[in-house]
Structure 1
């Protein structure tokens, strides 16, 4: 996986992680050693570690995805061992994901998590959206996202009983409870909740796997386009159009507001790719509902990150900075809703 900026707040030598990880990787590569273990920044809810496994004269780049101590009892997200099983299933179904090498076991002494391949590519939106080296990728990326989402939505989920089932109404109700729990009334959020409740679509005829967080930061890109889909912790069973709406939220355009799909493409390109891969044309009105819900969802998520920062659960600069962005979503919601309200 591409390596974001690194931090050194956790002294690796004091934790004994290298020795523990060596025991894990030797289940896959006998007599292997671990080198270059480094904590990565960029994970909002989980810890990420970069390492190289050296075995038989070959170097295998890997990433350890590990539950953060402060987030160990979080609800609404998949446990990382279940996430690993889902990633394995996605790879078997043709979705581009990092290969999973090993799921951590209790005796490993490393908590909950898994080892996966570290791929080459870029995840930072400013580079993807501005660097000339990704110009060709940007021209095809929206269509590729549509194709990959179609592949995700047709995955066989039999046996994955840990995936929660959702409905549009249930998602709105749960989000409203989360919003109320923050104890911070916001009139624009109230307006958005009222609009969503007045325009609920019917529940889909068949529930599909929903990635739940398909957007910049969780998509790895190279010069050819989409390389891998990351971070499946918010996956569920539900309306597949939720993924398309989430991808179009203005917060993921990073200033390129006229290109609703991630700041690099048009909705029609996304829909064309989806239809080419699935045979089904997305309903623009249904996607629009999920786009507005997604905008509100991100606002409430920002409220939660601010509460975590203020409460001292996670005082990282990233957590505090993201928490301040709830006000941005109020502007986005007004831009979306005002033309729709008589």
Structure 2
């Protein structure tokens, strides 16, 4: 990709020069060159393999490169989250090198391990709900304290990873979209109490972000939406992503049945209070409508937008009227 003002060749050359300097070894080269990977949203992601290195860096690797307008926070945030989760034994890709100097590749970046497996959407469909529920319950069973400590050491304040800060941020971001103001006001006014024990939440936990191999989850990808919250918030996100966007993008699947089986699988592993599920589903739907207004391709599709608006109205009584 050349979307950051640099060609793939320039990024490749810049990366190997950085690695040679960082590791003090001029003999480092490529066994396999940079190869673009799908996903990553606005970031650029490449797989590659090095020569002249030992240990962890001798295995297949991934480069995650951020646009310059992201600054350094996103790379530091995601690499910190993934590092702690990997240490805790959760299947998040372990980062090996982090660089926040934008002149090297045109933006901040980090190098991490390449996790094994294929995307969950590619495996036999009947196996998806159980793996999805079990992996999600496993994530929510982790103690968030090590992550909070690591993020605080990196300078991230509590509002960055707690719901209160996210709601304030959403309220600010919808400023240019007056037709969303009433629904965001509803979220602020009806925010439910949180349980005493909060959980590590992914924020975007769905079959396109999970890798599986031999019947188990081997990787959970893309952590920018991480937060520490009521686990039902994270579950609600998954329900919206599967029951609304999933049913339109992969219409041959019975996504309503998938949701039922996913919830059953989750609750077989870990108790889950669903009292505030509807609130958190509305929250994710409102965010999706806002994302669509900003140009996110999935959330701009008319059938999906209509489902989002109908769900919001069904719970809140508020009918969002999109501008013509």
Task: Identify which of 85, 88, 113 aligns with 1:90.
Answer: 85
Query: How far apart are the structure 2 equivalents of 1:339 and 1:159?
Result: 37
Q: CA deviation at 1:164?
A: 4.0
Go from structure 1 to structure 2 and tell me whether the alpha carbon gap of 1:253 and 1:285 turns closer, same or farther (over 3 Å shift).
farther
Query: How far apart are the structure 2 equivalents of 1:138 and 1:123?
Result: 14
In structure 1, the residue matched to 2:46 is 49
- The equivalences for 1:327-338 within 5 A come to 328-335=304-311, 337-338=313-314
Larger displacement relative to structure 2 (201-210 or 97-106) = 201-210
Q: CA deviation at 1:95?
A: 1.3
Task: Identify which of 255, 258, 269 aligns with 2:256.
Answer: 258
CA contact (8 A) 1:137 1:223 kept: no
User: Matched residue of 1:50: which SS?
Assistant: strand
Q: CA deviation at 1:22?
A: 4.8
Q: How many residues align?
A: 300
Go from structure 1 to structure 2 and tell me whether the alpha carbon gap of 1:136 and 1:238 turns closer, same or farther (over 3 Å shift).
closer
CA contact (8 A) 1:143 1:269 kept: yes
In structure 1, the residue matched to 2:111 is 115
- Which structure: greater helix fraction? 2
Query: How far apart are the structure 1 equivalents of 2:99 and 2:141?
Result: 30
- The equivalences for 1:187-198 within 5 A come to 190=182, 192-193=183-184, 195-197=186-188
Cα deviation 1:143-181 (Å, max 9, x = unaligned): 222222322656542141215436656544532432232
Larger displacement relative to structure 2 (143-152 or 292-301) = 143-152
Q: CA deviation at 1:80?
A: 0.4
TM-score normalised by length of structure 2: 0.76
Q: CA deviation at 1:73?
A: 4.7
User: Matched residue of 1:217: which SS?
Assistant: helix
User: RMSD value over aligned CA atoms?
Assistant: 3.5
Q: Which runs of 5+ in 2 are unaligned?
A: 318-324
User: Matched residue of 2:49: which SS?
Assistant: strand
In structure 2, the residue matched to 1:149 is 140
Query: How far apart are the structure 1 equivalents of 2:146 and 2:261?
Result: 25
User: Matched residue of 2:151: which SS?
Assistant: coil
Query: How far apart are the structure 2 equivalents of 1:87 and 1:25?
Result: 24
